[in-house]
Chain A
Amino acid sequence: MTVKLVKVTPKVERYPEYEELDWVIAHGLGVDHTADITSFSQTIAQAGSIKGIETYYYMRYDDSPERNYIPMAFYTVLGKPKVPVLLHEEVEPVGELFKVIAVFSSSLLLQKTAQRALLFDGAKKDAILLVNTSITTDDVVRLVKKYNLAQDWFGKVVTISAAKIDSAIAYPMLGALARGWDRIDLDSILTALDVLGKEKKKESVKKGYEAASVKEVHVLAEETEMFKKIKREVELPEFTGEFWTPEVYYAYQKAAAEAQTYPSRIATMPRWEVLAPGLIEFGPQPGKRNLGFTTPWRWQRPIIDMNKCTDCKLCHYYCPDGAIDFAPIKVDIDYCKGCGTCEKVCPVKAIKMVPEIEYLEGLRDEEVLRRFEQREYGF
């Protein structure tokens, strides 16, 4: 049964009341950076409140519970005089909301965020990009222009190699933030740490402040790759008034999987008449993988040396995500999360995990190699 498809232009909402506020969005890999980003956001909110600014911070509830290596985001929102801070939990990456985009792993510069949007979707024109990385500011801007920016950007980029200073990377990041953003100054952050009982971290904040690199940025939308490439329309099954069959469902699924912006993803969500009664969806046919969830945000990928491989099948057997085909042994990279289990179980050491930034861009970033055990402890 062929499904008739029609083009749909997504509705793009803008929320002027929320755009009046200063939003800080902090992106990181789940669990790995949760404690760091919590400290980061909490300290900003504390610093803001010390200065008499109405602030709150919270995790994007959709990412709850946060999962290892799966991108998640925290929001901190700062009010302005006479502008009430409204409750807005479902912060969509649209319009001009984000004043600061803090990125705790450079792998997130390369692919889409937790909300399946570009990193700069929803950014203010003068946004400050703060990245925990050892690569240069020039490289950061180049990557962003290639992968994650499709609009004008007349703001700043700030980089800091945080783990070099303190394995609790939130603190050098805070120092770097103070360098790049006048709204939250160094003194407020240091006072905030006193209030929060984290006096021991003040040194790291100061060091981060000193070591940060700041660069002004002036990029026009037309100069970016994504501006040319990005598809804003979607193709959906024609609405017949009937509830869906598997074929119609798979067509919706394909459209949602291929959506490149947040509004177009929402546009692929069906109207109630299309839902089969009883909360029915359809899984993939046996032998196929689930089109509805891929892993473009992985931070490292396995490279298999087929000369060393003895075809023992252990990597296929032990991949928690089933991303390694059985025969021939081959990684389906769209489903690999970069956990590194295959590298561990291979008896002949034929598999090596390589950071995405190295594989895709030939860059070496000390920060993505931060030892797992050095994370700030906490759930």
Chain B
Amino acid sequence: MSAIKPMPPVAIEKPKAKVWNGARAIAEAVKVADVDVIAAYPIRPYTGIMNSLASMIANGEFTADIIVADSEHSQFEIVKHASAVGARVFAGSSGVGLAFAAEAIIVTALSQLPVVAAIGTRALDDPGNFGMEWSDALMFRDFGWLISWAKTVQEAADMTLVAYRVAEDRRVLLPHFIALDGAAITHVATPVVPVTKQQATEFLPPYRPPYRIDPQDGPVTKAQHIAPSLIGPEERKTIDVAQKRSKQVIAEAWKDFAKYTGREYPPFLETIGMEDAEFALIGMGAYMKDLELVASRLRSKGHKVGTVRLRYVRPFPAEELINALGGVKAAGVIEFGYSFGSPFGTGSLYHEVATSLYEADAKPTLLDFLFLGGREPTVEHFTQLAEKVIESAHKKPQKKTYWLTLRGEDI
């Protein structure tokens, strides 16, 4: 078992911040992670990551093979098999591209290959839509992929590096998505402190799978067809256990990350003002920054509002969420993912939150705010949202779900 012994560095290198957009920042993280094989296929808005990587490789900034695939299905097949041979890999996609790759994506998790892929989340077709929705990433939440969700360009880059460390750990060996809210991250440039090559080399051990598809590891046969009477639940259990073990690995990894870079992140939940909160706004990703502003404004008016940001949706931090929401009277889930026809017409993140809260002693009133179709919500919408949450604690709400950006009657 690879138990990483964290080495306290002599001094934390603090390189200068560069103004990079998310695509560039993630590419820079992939570069210092010593990735070997990259498979690319264009689709907005994640493509910029591959453009950056292709450029870096063409100019000799690092050594890796970047393969232009004929489709996303092939793209994910390429990295799946390269990973089985022992190469550290990177891929990515958005929207319907991910849907096209679904078969390869699912198999990657069920055969436990630690592929790391970035998802620039994007609304699914039809109609074609460059706006942001979560469903392209969240539709894969059942298969065993670890899924982290970035709030800022900085966090997206940092999550990329930590993803390799967690995915490749022998206690885990599961693929890892770095999800980010589409163009809000990929196309927006902010100052980013890069992880240096030195820091990355010390933080990230080399990729050493237990068995490689390579003649030097002998006649390994991988992923045979198997009669379920002989082996069935057993192969699924290894994935279930890997997800459960990943929580400890994730916590260790972020602790170490702070030692090398000086940037500290709470591993699973970022909570602001939750110590005494009566109302909570629960969400993920880039728009949490706006929600935090709204929460602080309401605080100054005397309302005890706090925010809870999930950094991982798989493994889902249910216990942490229950603890964070202790004492809360009402909560609103900020939702960019849909699940049409689901109980009460609620969205995907809502389901995860509600299921977690089912185990809590005290359950707050829970509302769902669906921002679908890629239309960007504003601070106005978030303020309305928060006010509805506060109201719901005093007066039983007539509705459970709200489509605040919709034109027309919200029935």
**A282 lies within 8 A of B221 (CB):** yes
For A276, list chain B residues within 8 Å (CB).
Answer: 210-211
Query: A320 at the A/B interface (Cβ < 8 Å)?
Result: no
Q: Give me the 8 closest cross-chain CB pairs, A-B, nearest first.
A: A283-B219, A272-B234, A278-B112, A272-B237, A279-B223, A281-B221, A277-B112, A277-B173
Q: Does B323 sit within 8 A of A, measured CB to CB?
A: no
B10 in the interface (beta carbon within 8 A): no
- The answer on a CB contact under 8 Å between B231 and A282 is no
Q: Which residue of A lies closest to B171 (CB)?
A: A277
Chain A residues with CB under 8 Å of B221's CB are: 280-283
Beyond A272-B238, A278-B113, A280-B211, is A90–B222 a contact (Cβ under 8 Å)? no
B362 contact set on A, CB distance < 8 A: none
A271 near B111 (CB under 8 angstroms)?
no
Q: In the complex, A270→B234 CA distance in Å? A: 8
Residues 223 to 281 of chain A near chain B (Cβ within 8 Å): 243, 246, 266, 269-272, 275-281
B341 interface residue (CB < 8 Å to A): no
Give Cα A243–Cα B238 distance, bound, in whole angstroms: 11
B4 / chain A contacts, CB cutoff of 8 Å: none
In the complex, what residues of A have CB within 8 A of residue B277's CB? none
Instruction: Tell me which residues from 179 to 234 in chain B have a Cβ below 8 Å from any Cβ of chain A.
Output: 209-211, 218-224, 226-227, 229-231, 233-234
Cβ-neighbour of B235 out of A243, A275, A285 (below 8 A) = A275
Q: Are B112 and A282 in contact (CB under 8 A)?
A: no
A284 and B173 contact, CB distance less than 8 A? no
Residue in B110, B209, B238 whose Cβ sees the most chain A Cβ within 10 Å: B238
Decide: A279 near B111, CB < 8 A? Known: A243-B210, A272-B233.
yes
A280 & B222 in contact (Cβ 8 Å cutoff): yes
**Interface positions of B (Cβ within 8 A of A):** 84, 110-113, 173, 209-211, 218-224, 226-227, 229-231, 233-235, 237-238, 241-242
| Other A-B pairs, 16, CB within 8 Å; known A275-B234, A276-B210, A283-B221 | A62-B229, A246-B218, A270-B234, A275-B231, A276-B211, A277-B112, A277-B173, A277-B238, A279-B224, A280-B210, A280-B220, A281-B221, A281-B224, A283-B220, A284-B219, A285-B218
CA distance A286 to B224 in the complex (A): 19
User: A284 contacts which chain B residues (CB < 8 A)?
Assistant: 219
Is A285 a contact partner of B219 (Cβ separation < 8 A)?
A: yes
A243-B210, A272-B237 are known contacts. Are A279 and B173 too (CB-CB below 8 A)?
no
Task: Check A278–B218 contact: CB distance below 8 A.
Answer: no
Pairwise interchain contact B210-A277, C-beta atoms closer than 8 A:
yes
- A to B CB contacts below 8 Å, 7 in the list: A272-B238, A275-B234, A277-B238, A278-B111, A282-B219, A283-B221, A285-B218
Residues in A whose Cβ lies below 8 Å from that of B223 = 278-279
- Cβ–Cβ < 8 Å partners of A90 in chain B: 229
Find the A residue at minimum CB distance from B218. A246
Chain A residues near B220: list those with CB within 8 A. 280-283
Whole-angstrom CA separation of A246 from B220 in the bound complex:
9
